C-alpha cells in the first residue's frame, strides 16, 4: 500500500449496529494503521437520516487519517473505485423465516452488489462479505463479478475464530495472544467446525480435554451468536466490527509469522473440499493474497465434521443455483 494515498473503503449497512461500530474503528487507523482512509458509507434510502448522523459523528471525531467521507444510498456511487468493500448490509432472519427464505432474499441483494462491484470498483478490490448467509452470499457476489478474480472475495469467520481463541485461552489460564493456530472450517453457521486440535500455546501443542472439546467448546462456539442475542436482545455488533477489522488487517498487511487465521475463501480442492464453494479454511496471507494452509494431519473426527459443514454449503449452493447461471 502507498501510505500517501488514501485507501477507499466502502461499508454497506453503514448506519446499522455493526456498520456504526466499524466506521470509527476504520477511521481511527485500527484496521490499516497509519494509512489515510476515504470512507464511503452506503445505506438504503430508509436509513439516510441515520446515516447522516453517523457522518456528523465521524466529522466530530476529527480523525487525522480520514481524508474524505461520503454517505449515499446510491450503491454505484458508493462502490466507485473502492479498494476495499465490506458488505455488511443484508436482510436479517426474522421469526418464522427459514434459511432458504433468507438465502433467496439476500441472494438477490448480493447478486446486485457483485454486479456493481464488477462495473465500478477498483480492479484490485478486496471484498469481505459479512451479511448472512455469508459464505453463499460471497459465492453469489463473486459469480456476478466476472471481471474480478474469485480470490478477491472472502466471507467472515473471524468472529468465530476470535470466540474460539478466547475460550481456549480461558480454559488454559493464558492470554489470548499466547494462543496460535486456531481453525474454523466450513460454513458460518451452526455446522461450522471450530477445530482446536492444531492449537499451540507459546509454540507448544496444547493438551486438550476431549470431553470439554466435544461437550462444551464446539457447541459454545457454534451457538455463541444466539447466546449474544439472548443476552442483549440484539446480534453481535462490537465484536463483529472488531472481527472485520482483524480480517481486513491481516488480509492486506499479512498474518503473523508462525500463525494463521480463518477466512471463508473459494475452495480449490484442498482437503478434498468441493471446489468452488466458499468454505472457511486456515490461511496465511501476504501482499494482499491468501494461501490455504496445506497438509495439516486430520483425524477421522475432524474429517467427519468438515464434511458435515461442506454438505450444508453444497445444499445452499443448490438452493441458489438460479442465481448462479
User: What is the grid cell recorded at 248?
Assistant: 481486513
Residue labelled with grid coordinates 447522516? 52
3 state SS for the chain: CCCCCCEEEEEECCCCHHHHHHHHHHHHCCCCCCCCEEEEEECCHHHHHHHHHHHHHHHHHCCCCEEEEEEECCHHHHHCCCCEEEECCCCCCCCCCCHHHHHHHHHHHHHHHHHHHHHHCCCCCEEEECCCCHHHHHHHHHHCCCCCCHHHEEECCHHHHHHHHHHHHHHCCCCHHHEECCEEEECCCCCCEEECCCCEECCEECCCCHHHHHHHHHHHHHHHHHHHHHHHCCCCCHHHHHHHHHHHHHHHHCCCCCCCEEEEEECCCHHHCCCCCEEEEEEEEECCEEEECCCCCCCHHHHHHHHHHHHHHHHHHHHCHHHCC
- 3 by Cβ neighbours in 10 Å (0-12 / 13-18 / 19+) ranks as exposed
Catalytic residue, candidates 144, 161, 188, 198: 188
CA atoms within 13 A on the CB side of 281: 25
Q: Calculate Rg over the CA atoms of the chain.
A: 19
Distance CA 255, CA 288 (A): 10
Length of the chain: 325
| Catalytic (active site) residue 188 | yes
User: Which residues participate in catalysis according to the annotation?
Assistant: 188
Amino acid at each position: 500500500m502507498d501510505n500517501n494515498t488514501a485507501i477507499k473503503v466502502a461499508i454497506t449497512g453503514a448506519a446499522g449496529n455493526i456498520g456504526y461500530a466499524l466506521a470509527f474503528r476504520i477511521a481511527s487507523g485500527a484496521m490499516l494503521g497509519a494509512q489515510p482512509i476515504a470512507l464511503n458509507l452506503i445505506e438504503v434510502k430508509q436509513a439516510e437520516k441515520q446515516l447522516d448522523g453517523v457522518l456528523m459523528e465521524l466529522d466530530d471525531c476529527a480523525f487525522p487519517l480520514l481524508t474524505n467521507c461520503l454517505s449515499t444510498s446510491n450503491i454505484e456511487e458508493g462502490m466507485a473505485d473502492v479498494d476495499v468493500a465490506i458488505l455488511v448490509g443484508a436482510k436479517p432472519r426474522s421469526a418464522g423465516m427459514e434459511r432458504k427464505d433468507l438465502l433467496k432474499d439476500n441472494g438477490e441483494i448480493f447478486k446486485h452488489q457483485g454486479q456493481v462491484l464488477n462495473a465500478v470498483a477498483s480492479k484490485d478490490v478486496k471484498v469481505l462479505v459479512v451479511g448472512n448467509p455469508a459464505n453463499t452470499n460471497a459465492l453469489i457476489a463473486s459469480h456476478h463479478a466476472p471481471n474480478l478474480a474469485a480470490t478477491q472475495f472472502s466471507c467472515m469467520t473471524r468472529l468465530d475464530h476470535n470466540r474460539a481463541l478466547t475460550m481456549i485461552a480461558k480454559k488454559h489460564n493464558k492470554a489470548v495472544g499466547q494462543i496460535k493456530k486456531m481453525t474454523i472450517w466450513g460454513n458460518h453457521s451452526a455446522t461450522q467446525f471450530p477445530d482446536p486440535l492444531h492449537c499451540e500455546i507459546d509454540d507448544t501443542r496444547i493438551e486438550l480435554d476431549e470431553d470439554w472439546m466435544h461437550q462444551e467448546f464446539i457447541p459454545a462456539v457454534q451457538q455463541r451468536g444466539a447466546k449474544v442475542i439472548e443476552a442483549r436482545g440484539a446480534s453481535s455488533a462490537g465484536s463483529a466490527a472488531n472481527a472485520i477489522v482483524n480480517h481486513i488487517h491481516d488480509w492486506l498487511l499479512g498474518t503473523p509469522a508462525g500463525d494463521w487465521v480463518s477466512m471463508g475463501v473459494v475452495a480449490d480442492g484442498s482437503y478434498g473440499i468441493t471446489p468452488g464453494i466458499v468454505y472457511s479454511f486456515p490461511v496465511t496471507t501476504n501482499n494482499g493474497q491468501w494461501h490455504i494452509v496445506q497438509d495439516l494431519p486430520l483425524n477421522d473426527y475432524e474429517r467427519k465434521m468438515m464434511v458435515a459443514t461442506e454438505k450444508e454449503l453444497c445444499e445452499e449452493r443448490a438452493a441458489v443455483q438460479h442465481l448462479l447461471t
